[in-house]
């Protein structure tokens, strides 16, 4: 048990995360061999143009910065470019690495976000391309799966989840949280708060996801 009364579990290998293809990968953190060089490289890549990015980087201890390895920038971007409105287990101040045990769960989570965008914008449907990244998660995870108060499909439970996420992120017991997918019953999602615990990150397949306001989501695997 962790300090919050939930069991601790290990994450499976090969979790999946989808990133919009409209955000092309950069190589700022891959090219850095020492922490002292990071600020210069970030400036050259334009990362420091957004003062929120610099602020979020300062919130991460240097021991948690990922650099000098493949897809390091993909990992760091998840923390530097958090949601403006917050997510289920993270607020607006700092992002996190969200992923799913299975690819289809990740697809349905993305499709739900696209449906929300349809509702706000009023467009008839949305079609977007995504890159899949697989990764292994190190460390132990607070397991809240089975607790419906953390997996309500609406955003009503976000304050509770964000409070737990803040406690886990700045605590010492765990690397993140395991929770039930609200979009695919019986399947797991994960959120990791330690960049250095997101390991063996590999870019995998590319997909086109077509989402109508209601009804069936269509997923097409794109050619390499």
**Closest of 89, 86, 101, 96 to residue 193, by C-alpha:** 96
Distance CA(90)–CA(170), nearest Å, equals 12
The per-residue pLDDT for 117 is 83
- Residues 135 and 200: beta-carbon distance below 8 Å: yes
pLDDT of residue 97: 97
Q: Which residues contact 200 (CB under 8 A, 6 or more apart)?
A: 134, 135, 136
pLDDT for 32 equals 76
- Return the pLDDT at 176: 97
Q: What is the pLDDT of residue 104?
A: 94
Q: Which residues of the chain have pLDDT under 70?
A: 1-3, 38-52, 224
Question: Quick one: pLDDT at residue 61?
Answer: 87
Q: pTM value?
A: 0.89
Per-residue model confidence (pLDDT) at position 74: 92
Spatial contact of 130 and 207, defined as CB atoms under 8 Å apart: yes
Q: Which residues contact 76 (CB under 8 A, 6 or more apart)?
A: 28, 29, 57, 65, 66, 67, 195
Q: What is the pLDDT of residue 49?
A: 54
**CA 53 – CA 30 distance, rounded (Å):** 17
Q: Which residues contact 34 (CB under 8 A, 6 or more apart)?
A: none
């Amino acid at each position: 048990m962790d300090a919050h009364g939930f069991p601790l579990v290990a994450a499976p290998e090969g979790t999946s995360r989808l990133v919009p293809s409209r955000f092309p990968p950069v190589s700022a953190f891959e090219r850095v061999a020492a922490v002292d060089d990071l600020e210069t490289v970030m400036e050259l890549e334009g990362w420091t143009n957004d003062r929120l990015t610099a602020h979020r980087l300062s919130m991460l201890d240097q021991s948690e910065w990922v650099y000098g390895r493949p897809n390091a920038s993909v990992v760091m971007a998840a923390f530097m470019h958090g949601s403006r409105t917050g997510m289920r287990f993270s607020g607006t101040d700092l992002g996190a690495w969200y992923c799913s045990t299975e690819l289809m769960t990740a697809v349905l989570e993305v499709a739900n976000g696209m449906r929300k965008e349809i509702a706000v914008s009023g467009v008839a449907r949305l079609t977007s391309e995504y890159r899949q990244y697989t990764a292994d998660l190190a460390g132990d995870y607070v397991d809240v799966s089975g607790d419906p108060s953390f997996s309500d499909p609406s955003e009503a439970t976000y304050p509770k989840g964000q409070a737990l996420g803040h406690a886990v992120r700045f605590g010492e017991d765990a690397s993140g949280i395991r929770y039930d997918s609200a979009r695919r019953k019986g399947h797991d999602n994960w959120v990791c708060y330690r960049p250095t615990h997101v390991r063996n990150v590999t870019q995998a397949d590319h997909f086109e996801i077509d989402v109508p306001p209601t009804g069936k989501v269509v997923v097409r695997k794109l050619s390499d």
